[in-house]
Structure 1
Amino acid sequence: MGKLANDPAPGSPELPAAGGKWPSRAVAGLTVRKAMEIPALAGARLLAGEDGLDRVVQRANIMEVPDILPWVKPHELLLTTGYPLRNTPQGLPGLVAELDARGLAALAVKLHRYLDALPDEMVHEADRLGLPLLLLPDAVGFDDILNQVLTGVLNKQAAALERSWEVHHALLSVVLEGGGLTELVTKTSAVLGVPVMVTTADGRVLAEGGNLDDLASWRHTPCFDTSGRFRTEYEPGGVHSHVDVPGWHAVVSIVAGRVDHGRIVAFARHRALDDADVNVLERAATVAALAVNKQLAVTAVESKYRGDFLRDVLSGRAGDRDRIVAHCESLGWDVGRDLVVVVAELDPESGPAGSAGLQLRPVQERFTVAWQSVVQRRDPRAAVVGFAQEVVALLPVGARPDPESSVRDVVRQVSGDGGGGRRSFSTGVSRVVDDPSRLPVGYEQARRAVDVGRQMNGRGSLAHFDSLGSFRLLSQIEDRDELRGFVRETLHGLAADDDPEMEDLRHTLKVLLDTNLNVAEAARQLHFHYNTLRYRISKLERMLGPFTTDPELRLDLALALKVLQMRGLS
């Protein structure tokens, strides 16, 4: 289940999102609705295509010949006197369809000189496609329309550029004045008027800004998994509006060089996000990349210092109890309480190599950040340090009688739903450590639990030291051939792992041993008739010997079954 981010390169924020759609204004310019408010078009009447009034106008052109199609550009307002429409080869409804396919913003027609009216079929087709069809007043001049439309477009684009620069300067000042991601998302949220968050590349939330209650409600939508991870693998760059998610959300990647550092996401319930909002997020993403790189440089130094000291503590070289407690206090850690030592190791990679595209930070570094972000949300004074091959966390026991359940909650949050290309990992938990001087013992217990737990349960295991039992002893035997020989000599034909009948008999034997040879209870658990189980016991004794009366043989059989349960013996 648990995986760490190794997701593919995100989609371009300039493209419509897969599975969603852009809002009506995905490019800079005037909408047809706003263009109809300029003086030259104030008297224009909408004949059809009301659904397309939010199409964007970026330029204007005049249609003087029937074969206008090769010159039509997207987001264009096309003006005509009707002269070229008299003998259009493909028919006027077909012309409307062709213009719509080329991304035309609107078609404006001046009648009465060459055409008295537009055919009903043409009007119906424009209405069906949502292509605005405007009827121009007789007195209006095309040159006035061209000048005023282009002036309006340029003014809007200039205003957008000016606002973009102001926003960029405001966001950049956050970092220059020493702020981090939290301050950045707070400022971005204030600019946009909607909640904003920054996540890692695999969707783990790093910082939030704006109305946190509103943002918390979004965590219950399909955009997030049950652990609170934003599903970046299903949310490429761009603006999204999903059927099962209220409102809009916009996603922009945080990239520095070729390294994917995460996502910045804005959420809006009561208004559509548009290209201006995406532009602000892109500016914020650039600044966020600076903040992340700055934080990485600081963290690298601090992590080495913290890691060196915790390594001394776990190896017993850090001094007496008082020195350990005092030094940990200076690092913001509280080790003077009941703790469990947790060791988490990434499982060996068995899948194909990642695809080309944006690079991700080293997997062990991302794994450490994942543990730190989850644990520090629960207890800011808990120690979490990443070493070369593992992450070590000193988690408080608290009032819960079962510390393993607390660790399981943390593992669940670090794992998420396995999305975003996360790597699976195995986790070991020590016994409760009530004195810092016993942390080295707890560390060895947790490391042993990782190794044995992975052998017992495979990848993604979570094992407590106290639950290992005899597996702790069996795992110390390095000679795997000796273990395999012991299994064959003890179980005989029952050791075959490719025979369904033998596997069934092994299960019967295990239940009998687990119930201390209580035939009635074993029959109940196996859903067998009492006499059926008695027959199976006789068959097992013919194969294995008189285990019902020989306690030494029962011990050997129980150990052999445990060896078979361990992984990595084949």
Structure 2
Amino acid sequence: MRITELLSVPLLKEMRLIAGESGKEREVHTINMMDAPDIIPFLNPNEFLVTTAYHIKDQPHRLIELIKAMSDQGCAALGIKTKRYLEAVPQEALDLANELSLPIIELPLELSLGEIVNYTLRAILDSRAAELSSAIESHKQFTNIIMQGKGIQVLLQELTKLIHRKVNLVDQHLIPLLQPYTKLEISIIKSDLEKEIKGFPLSNNTNITFSMIASKETYTLFPVNMSEKKIGFLLVVGAIPQEDHLTILTIEQAINVLSFTLMKEHALKQHARNIRNDFFLHFLDGAFSVHDEIINRAKEFSLQNERDYICVVGKMDNDENSYYTYTQRQQKADNLFEYMEDLIHPTISNVHVFTKSENCILLFEVHDQNVTPHQGHDHILRYIQEKIAVAFGHTVSFGVSNICHSFIQLRTAYQEAFEALSQGELAKKTGFIHTFRTKDIIELLRLIPEKEINSFYQYTFKGFSSIKQDEKESLLQTLSVYLETHCQISETAKRLFVHRNTVVYRIDKCEEILSKSLKDPETTLQLRIAFRMKKLLDSSFLHSLTKT
């Protein structure tokens, strides 16, 4: 309790403040009685020291030393019983107390020091008990709000009413966890706020108070545990003095309830994320063998089959200046991707986020058929890269697929995005966005039913079905490279690392099997189209049919 509150206690109403009035808001945590001249080594902060001045009545300079020592120790006040051993407090002592803002209280003659000590302790305990009782009621109130399903936003509204200050809840990256209902604009103060908390050792009982020039406001920041590894913040407008115990206790009760609620929500969200992620990874790995099963399972996660998608694969770039173990790198990637998901979902709709080892996978739903991957999503990916660079001091790169026209085709889109990412990594680039480039004919072939594509491919190369598998693969590989090099024997031999005579032999063998000349444009066109179809079949859902 403060000095002013102590002076208003009925049993102590005869006490009179005679000096140091500017320090009357000092906190009193305990009281001590001076019964020996060597009290100075035993002084404590926020202590109210009472004395009869018996030990200093003949040595006024000792009182000056005591006042200085009490000020240095942060004591609350000095109570002196006058008209007994000391007729009046020396003017020199009063002037010093005024200068140091250390209250000097004249104690009533009719009360003994023991009674003053007892009454003061009782008043302190009553004040603390009232604060704790109020804190318990606040905790019950906040808990009831959550138990009744009213949500965190209602809790914050109630907290605002109780402490008469605007509040908002943000995560560790200062992203609001819910739509603010007050006029507290995080974006205005975010850059300055990041500087304030950077490197600050946060703990459960630590808060930061600071002022912002941009908003011309003072803020107090309280850490809130969101999970085992994540800490958010309760941002309160206005300074909260440490002596304002009731407000601090009320905020602490709100933080306790918020922490449990956020931890529960995080666990549920993580569980749902794991289920969704497992389904998508199994889909990419070909674990499902029935179309309808895939389509129905995808619908459970708001993934419609008859919809256009763009697949993006992202990866944290390697840092040559730092060494991370596999576990450390995986943990860093998980934190980075979780931050990425928090960035995307509040502001961007129709984006699905998955993770696969050290890669993240973003599925963008495309509603405008005229939008290319670059036009539609490049600015979003750039935004993510900029935010990650600021938050983590690390770069991330993306590979982007072409548009696929159904969920079933996402395997092909994933391969395209992954290949685009790999091409950028091979070029030793960082912080890049690469879009997969295919020939226009591939896009046209995707419009043909897969069954028809398979039939065309089998018909074109039916003559190779009776040849041994090893020989078949070498002949088809040679034929493919030969056509890609515009029927150049030497270039084909160079790319395959074989003698040119070997190429001549294999090409002659292919013409014999096909019963067609490779000098015929129609024949080469058919073969080139069939090889393009083979790439689609290798990555398509019906690839298993080609093996039968």
Query: Aligning the two structures, in what range does the TM-score lie when normalised by the shorter sequence?
Result: 0.5 to 0.7
The match for 1:92 is 63
Kept after mapping to 1: 8 A contact 2:189/2:212: no
Q: Distance in 2 between matches of 1:275 and 1:108?
A: 24
* Secondary structure of 1:384's aligned partner: strand
Kept after mapping to 2: 8 A contact 1:62/1:78: yes
Which amino acid counterpart does residue 304 of structure 1 have in structure 2?
Answer: N
- For the structure 1 residues 130 and 351, does the alpha-carbon distance in structure 2 shift closer, same or farther, using more than 3 Å as the test? farther
- Greater relative contact order structure (CA < 8 Å, 6+ sep): 1
Work out which of the residue numbers 251, 274, 294 in structure 1 matches 2:222: 251
Kept after mapping to 2: 8 A contact 1:195/1:211: no
Q: Distance in 1 between matches of 2:433 and 2:200?
A: 32
Q: Distance in 2 between matches of 1:41 and 1:250?
A: 38
User: 5+ unaligned residues in a row in structure 2: which ranges?
Assistant: 439-548
The match for 1:63 is 34
The match for 2:339 is 370
Q: State the 1:156 CA deviation.
A: 1.6
Give the structure with the larger helix fraction.
Answer: 2
The match for 2:443 is none
Kept after mapping to 2: 8 A contact 1:195/1:210: no
Q: Distance in 1 between matches of 2:78 and 2:229?
A: 43
The match for 2:384 is 410
The match for 1:205 is 175
Q: Distance in 1 between matches of 2:423 and 2:58?
A: 83
Q: Does 1:104 align with 2:75?
A: yes
Kept after mapping to 2: 8 A contact 1:215/1:267: no
User: 5+ unaligned residues in a row in structure 1: which ranges?
Assistant: 1-29, 469-570
* Secondary structure of 1:417's aligned partner: helix
The match for 1:552 is none
Q: Does 1:291 align with 2:252?
A: no
- For the structure 1 residues 46 and 344, does the alpha-carbon distance in structure 2 shift closer, same or farther, using more than 3 Å as the test? farther
Q: Deviations over 1:468-501 (max 9, x none)?
A: 9xxxxxxxxxxxxxxxxxxxxxxxxxxxxxxxxx
The match for 2:359 is 390
Q: State the 1:307 CA deviation.
A: 1.2
Q: State the 1:376 CA deviation.
A: 0.7
Q: Deviations over 1:216-244 (max 9, x none)?
A: 3764562147xxxx946437343333244
Kept after mapping to 1: 8 A contact 2:18/2:106: yes
> How do 1:123-522 and structure 2 match up within 5 A?
123-139=94-110, 141-177=112-148, 182=153, 185-186=156-157, 188-200=159-171, 202-205=172-175, 207-208=177-178, 211-216=181-186, 219-220=189-190, 222-224=192-194, 231=197, 233-234=199-200, 236-237=202-203, 238-244=206-212, 246-254=217-225, 259-269=228-238, 272=241, 274-312=244-282, 314=284, 327-333=297-303, 339-348=309-318, 351=322, 362-396=331-365, 401=375, 403-413=377-387, 415=388, 417-418=390-391, 422=392, 424-433=394-403, 435-436=405-406, 437-454=408-425, 456=427, 461-465=431-435
Which amino acid counterpart does residue 135 of structure 2 have in structure 1?
Answer: S
What TM-score results when the alignment is normalised by the length of structure 1? 0.62
- For the structure 1 residues 270 and 426, does the alpha-carbon distance in structure 2 shift closer, same or farther, using more than 3 Å as the test? closer
Q: State the 1:428 CA deviation.
A: 0.5
Q: Distance in 2 between matches of 1:346 and 1:211?
A: 36
Q: State the 1:57 CA deviation.
A: 0.9
Which amino acid counterpart does residue 149 of structure 1 have in structure 2?
Answer: T
Q: Distance in 1 between matches of 2:247 and 2:323?
A: 37
- For the structure 1 residues 382 and 255, does the alpha-carbon distance in structure 2 shift closer, same or farther, using more than 3 Å as the test? closer
Q: State the 1:433 CA deviation.
A: 1.7
- For the structure 1 residues 292 and 403, does the alpha-carbon distance in structure 2 shift closer, same or farther, using more than 3 Å as the test? same
Cα RMSD of the aligned pairs, angstroms, is 4.0
Q: State the 1:375 CA deviation.
A: 0.9
Q: Distance in 2 between matches of 1:167 and 1:232?
A: 32
Kept after mapping to 2: 8 A contact 1:404/1:429: no
Q: Distance in 2 between matches of 1:130 and 1:211?
A: 42
Q: Deviations over 1:426-449 (max 9, x none)?
A: 221414525234433332333234
Moved more, 370-379 or 380-389: 380-389
* Secondary structure of 1:57's aligned partner: coil
Kept after mapping to 2: 8 A contact 1:174/1:183: yes
Q: State the 1:96 CA deviation.
A: 1.8
Kept after mapping to 2: 8 A contact 1:198/1:262: no
Q: State the 1:42 CA deviation.
A: 3.4
Kept after mapping to 2: 8 A contact 1:264/1:285: no
Tell which structure's C-alpha radius of gyration is larger.
2
- For the structure 1 residues 431 and 321, does the alpha-carbon distance in structure 2 shift closer, same or farther, using more than 3 Å as the test? farther
Kept after mapping to 2: 8 A contact 1:181/1:288: yes
- For the structure 1 residues 367 and 186, does the alpha-carbon distance in structure 2 shift closer, same or farther, using more than 3 Å as the test? farther
The count of aligned residue pairs is 423
Q: Deviations over 1:60-102 (max 9, x none)?
A: 2222322112333332211123323335597433322211233
